[in-house]
Chain A
């Protein structure tokens, strides 16, 4: 485990981990060997070798269109690898999806979507199951289970700090608030692997730090967290491993060995500097994506 940020956000304090069934720390969660990705008839990247173990916090980095989202879809079995072998939670991708929480890239709900945030979170638990549950009937006939599920739901919503607005229609809350509820939806099924596609995207800086700290804590509980990020700096301090996808190549490893001035400059084909601060943190300067982020 990498050292956590010393300062802790209020989000993290509001919680009480919902005791998932994480795998023993150190067991491989994702094993990729020579993986290549192809989409729309184009080769996105090839030669990805990576082993992600349980409880690791991993970032997938790279410029737009590199194939980061496609890689997450490959882990879910929704996109077949063009070459190589990929194992997720000990089986081929798609077989263990009930143990995976997934947050796709940039989803937002406009104000016409009239369903509460908590309803959306609940779908993360049982949305795939057939049937039409009527809460009123369940409350009458299956009270104990209903209340237990309700408590778990409330806990997870509290954990992401969304209690105040969970009861409102999802389309009425802000983009950042929607994002927190969607993270709760991915968390609520007590996953062993969490795949988050640019979860910090629609958040302001304090919220980015809050959510990053929350994710770090989740990974400390034994859940493997794989996050696609635009700007590496808010999470750099937490990372156990990074997977860089640039220019058709993919490079995986611990941040200290992968995130170096030479590596990044070579991958991006542009001068990029990696600086170590006095507190020992890495900072990436001149990263094209990071630059575009800071511009607005």
Chain B
């Protein structure tokens, strides 16, 4: 890709210093970086909130599968001469609907759900590879699809991402409480009048949108870095739903921005940095939680 080589030469000139103000100016001097920071914030907002529910519901595998579904979407869109974004969204949302439709109802449905998800994932990866093989020329952007790239983000992309995020978060705000109920306690929620199946389908579609957004940065293979890792970190730190949700969004934002800045200064893939920052946070949180747990136990025992 042309832009990649160009940005590489630019970034090579950028050196990190102790002067934060200068660093920030350096990072934000190019429009593509500004776009990436705004789009990253939008994706973080969405992934932090939707990812928190994914962790609560134990749907991380579904998230990963929807990312795999986004891969043939993006490669197929490029093959047909469309914007990759169209493919990401179209396929991720269709994949969500497919999973919801194929998932069995009734007792034991939860366990068999993961088998459905696995089947859809395998088919999606095969389809993506098929598109890649059809179109030899785009192999150079294959790594961008799989591991992420932030250089291609245009102002139009930012607009699309922001509007989608606004819609998705609006819907999430409407279904938030019944979704929480249906996630932790589906049978009582059903008895209380929550349309559990409809809410679950809607959630999977929102998850598909979040996956499509995150794929822009992290690539389809590293989506969980943004969608699940900050949420898991937040959940390790607090069991309060409202605090956890806000913390998850905040951590996703820090992860994305730190990852983007690190990628800029090191000229290394953004997916690597986003994942590393997120994972470091997760490790710290788990360590803290375990130390705190041991300490509490000792106090109780005393």
Contact = CB atoms under 8 A, between A and B. Distances in A.
Nearest to A114: B235
Contacts, number: 95
A91 to B, nearest CB: 14
B61 to A, nearest CB: 13
Contacts of A170: 184, 239
Interface in B221-269: 235-236, 238-242, 244
A127 B244 contact: no
A100 interface: yes
Nearest to A113: B184
Interface residues of B, number: 30
B242 A128 contact: no
Contact of B172 (A115, A132, A133, A186): A132
B123 interface: no
Interface in A89-126: 97-98, 100, 102-104, 107, 109, 112-116, 119-120, 123-124, 126
Contacts of A123: 177, 180-181, 184-185, 188-189
B178 interface: yes
A128 B189 contact: yes
Contact of A132 (B176, B185, B190): B176
Given A131-B173, A132-B173, A115 B194 contact: no
A116 B181 contact: no
Chain A interface residue bracket vs B: 35 or more
A126 B56 contact: no
Contacts of A185: 185, 188
Nearest to A169: B239
A243 interface: no
A128 B192 contact: yes
Contacts of A119: 239-241
Interface string B37-60: 000000000000000000110100
A168 interface: yes
A76 interface: yes
A258 B7 CA distance: 84
A127 B239 contact: no
Contacts of B174: 130-132
A127 B172 contact: no
Contact of A112 (B58, B188, B240): B58
B11 interface: no
A41 to B, nearest CB: 13
B177 A97 contact: no
A135 interface: yes
A291 interface: no
A295 interface: no
A140 interface: no
25 contacts: A78-B191, A102-B187, A102-B191, A102-B192, A103-B188, A104-B187, A104-B191, A113-B56, A115-B56, A115-B241, A120-B185, A123-B188, A123-B189, A127-B181, A128-B189, A130-B174, A130-B175, A130-B177, A132-B173, A132-B176, A132-B177, A133-B176, A133-B177, A168-B239, A186-B188
Interface of B: 55-56, 58, 172-178, 180-181, 184-185, 187-194, 235-236, 238-242, 244
The list of the 3 closest CB pairs from A to B, nearest first, reads A132-B176, A127-B181, A169-B239
Given A123-B181, A128-B181, 17 more contacts: A76-B191, A97-B191, A97-B193, A100-B191, A102-B188, A103-B188, A113-B184, A115-B241, A119-B241, A123-B177, A123-B189, A124-B188, A127-B181, A128-B192, A131-B173, A131-B177, A132-B174
